[in-house]
């Protein structure tokens, strides 16, 4: 069954790889990131199944606008994927609380980016 994923990350490479795999498996994907340019080709290939949302400064207003945009396109989110290294007080931990408050029924997946060689 297809799900709606919301990927939250500043790691464009890892996020693009994850989004591409999910889209190939026919899931819908929203991506909240500082730079949406790496997702342009995915938008061309998958059209309305992907929604990149650029948030330059992750303050409350910007994140609330991002959630609103995602809900306008996809209604709800089934899985929140936080890509990055979890650290106390860091953006990944803070994002988990904000987004689970927005989508309390969603599962949360912490995704560590691949090690860079």
pLDDT of the residue at 116: 58
Q: What are phi and psi of 106, to 5 degrees?
A: -75, 145
pLDDT of the residue at 30: 97
pLDDT of the residue at 88: 47
**Average of per-residue pLDDT across 24-52:** 95
Q: In sequence order, which ranges of the chain are alpha helices (DSSP H)?
A: 12-24, 40-46, 60-74, 91-102
pLDDT of the residue at 11: 77
The distance of Cα 104 from the centroid of its chain, to the nearest Å, equals 16
Using CA atoms, how far apart are residues 47 and 43, in angstroms rounded to an integer?
5
**Average of per-residue pLDDT across 60-88:** 87
Using CA atoms, how far apart are residues 8 and 14, in angstroms rounded to an integer?
11
pLDDT of the residue at 94: 61
Q: How confident is the model at residue 89 (pLDDT cuts 50, 70, 90)?
A: very low
CB under 8 Å to 73, separation ≥6 — which residues?
A: 30, 48, 51
CB burial readout 74-88, b (16+ within 10 A) else e: beebbbbbbbbeeee
Task: State how far the alpha carbon of 43 is from the alpha carbons of 29, 58, 97, in Å.
Answer: 10, 23, 28
Which of 2-16, 38-52, 77-91, 95-109: highest mean pLDDT?
A: 38-52
Using CA atoms, how far apart are residues 81 and 96, in angstroms rounded to an integer?
9
pLDDT of the residue at 79: 96
């Amino acid at each position: 069954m297809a799900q709606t994923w919301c990927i939250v990350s500043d790691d464009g490479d890892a996020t693009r790889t994850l989004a591409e795999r999910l889209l190939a498996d026919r899931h819908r994907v929203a991506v909240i990131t500082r730079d949406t340019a790496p997702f342009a080709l995915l938008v061309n290939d998958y059209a309305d199944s992907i929604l990149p949302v650029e948030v330059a400064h992750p303050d409350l207003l910007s994140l609330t606008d991002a959630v609103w945009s995602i809900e306008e396109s996809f209604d709800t989110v089934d899985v929140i994927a936080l890509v990055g290294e979890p650290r106390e007080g860091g953006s990944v931990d803070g994002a988990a609380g904000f987004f689970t408050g927005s989508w309390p029924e969603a599962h949360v997946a912490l995704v560590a980016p691949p090690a860079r060689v």
